[in-house]
Amino acid sequence: MRHLEKPVVLDLQRPTNVAARIVGGVRSYAANALLVALLALAPFLFESHIVGSLTRGMIYGMAACAVGFIIRCGGMVSFGHAAYFGLGAYSVLIAQKIGLTEALLIWPIAVLVSAAASLAIGSLSLRTRGVSFIMITLGFAQMVYFVISSVQGLGGADGLGLQARNQIGGVSLESPTRFHFVVLALLLVVFCVLSRVGRSPLGMALAGIRQNERRLKALGYNTTRLQLTAFVLSAAITGLAGALAAEFYLYVSPGLLHWIVSGELLVMATLGGVTALMGGLFGALVLLLAEVLISEFTTYWRMALGPVVIVAVLYLRQGLQPALQKMLGGGRD
């Protein structure tokens, strides 16, 4: 057999490397691990309104990670993810209106609704690339916004409240702490899925498409179909986040579908770093933290948003997560 240049897999099989790998693994994931630990311990450390902010941060972070995922894998900048976020939320509202109260049933429905919408929108949008793609995703999202905000049965432009938070497996989610942990658990599942897909042949091909789509076609990849797959996966995750947002606010309004949400998700993803799996979560939490801190002093907290983003883009380049990672002395994930 020919001598191989030691692909990583061969190293894994060597027991002597296990200890080194664990140490290396902890170091390279230190920033992520610290953040997850903080989120897990938050209900025991902080007052309830801060825990609530963190729950909300995780929900938006989940959607932002999905937005970042298709930039990293597939090179698609979507300016229309509010549609999937909002559709997820409205699915919860409609499910409750027809009498469902089981989250294990309702949330998958929300995921499916968003995925189905993204399959239709994505297959049309992916006839374009670049700036046209950005604009066409925005256009479709605005269509969804106007259609839903004109349906009086769904509360029209004002939206409607939910009667109560749905139950999960018969267990009530009314307790904010319990809901916080459910959101955290789902977030970790999302990270596992995205990380796994990122390292798969599909993920590799998608990362290749971002770098040079023509080359990937020349290797025999049906690039549009692969991008559509990633787009639908991303929208499905965003739909789940939207469903969780509905449960969190206990209120669903067209505001969740508004293009500003698409913009905020993009800002969160970029701020946290699109090269990093958990970049969107970092971005979302920092943004919400800024909101909480600045709104102590002024209601015009959004004014600070611009400078924060400009500074981040100028000085962090790759985003927050990679910068923190570097500070903690680990490699890139």
Partner 1 sequence: MTEPVLQLRALTKSYGGLIVTDNVDLNVLPNEVHALIGPNGAGKSTLIAQIFGEITPDKGAVLWCGEEITRIPVHQRVRKGLARSFQVTSVLPEFTALDNVRLATLASASSNPSAFEVAAANLTATERAQTCLERVGLATRSNARAEALSYGERRHLELAMALALEPRLMLLDEPMAGVGSDESHSLTAVLRDLRQSCAILLVEHDMDVVFALADRVSVLVAGRIVASGSPAEVHEDHEVKRAYFGEEDVW
Stretches 4-12, 42-50, 113-121, 323-331: which one binds partner 1 (CB under 8 A)?
4-12
The only residue of 33, 168, 207, 294 in contact with partner 1, by rule CB under 8 A = 207
- Minimum gap (Å) between residue 2 Cβ and partner 1: 7
In a 10 Å sphere around its CB, with 0-12 CB exposed, 13-18 middle and 19+ buried, how is residue 275 labelled? middle
Full DSSP string of 201-247: HHHHHHHHHHH-HHHHHHTT--HHHHHHHHHHHHHHHHHHHHHHHHH
225-244 residues in contact with partner 1 (CB under 8 A) are 226, 229
Residue 222 binds partner 1, judged by CB under 8 A: yes
**Residue 284 CB coordination number (10 Å):** 28
C-alpha 153/C-alpha 225 separation (Å) is 36
| Residue pair 167/107 in contact by the 8 Å Cβ criterion | no
Minimum CB distance to partner 1 smaller for 142 or for 321: 321
Residue 66 binds partner 1, judged by CB under 8 A: no
Residue 84's nearest CA partner among 105, 109, 62, 63 is: 63
- Minimum gap (Å) between residue 3 Cβ and partner 1: 9
Residue 79 binds partner 1, judged by CB under 8 A: no
- Minimum gap (Å) between residue 4 Cβ and partner 1: 6
Residue 317 binds partner 1, judged by CB under 8 A: no
**Residue 142 CB coordination number (10 Å):** 18
| Residue pair 244/183 in contact by the 8 Å Cβ criterion | yes
| Residue pair 88/102 in contact by the 8 Å Cβ criterion | no
Minimum CB distance to partner 1 smaller for 88 or for 203: 203
Q: Please give the DSSP secondary-structure letter assigned to residue 168.
A: B
- Minimum gap (Å) between residue 209 Cβ and partner 1: 9
Minimum CB distance to partner 1 smaller for 57 or for 203: 203
In the three-class reduction of DSSP (H, G, I as helix; E, B as strand; rest coil), residue 173 is classed as coil
The only residue of 196, 302, 317, 332 in contact with partner 1, by rule CB under 8 A = 196
Stretches 58-66, 76-84, 100-108, 211-219: which one binds partner 1 (CB under 8 A)?
211-219
Minimum CB distance to partner 1 smaller for 6 or for 296: 6
Binding site for partner 1 (CB under 8 A): 2, 4-5, 7-9, 196-197, 199-205, 207-208, 211-212, 214-223, 226, 229
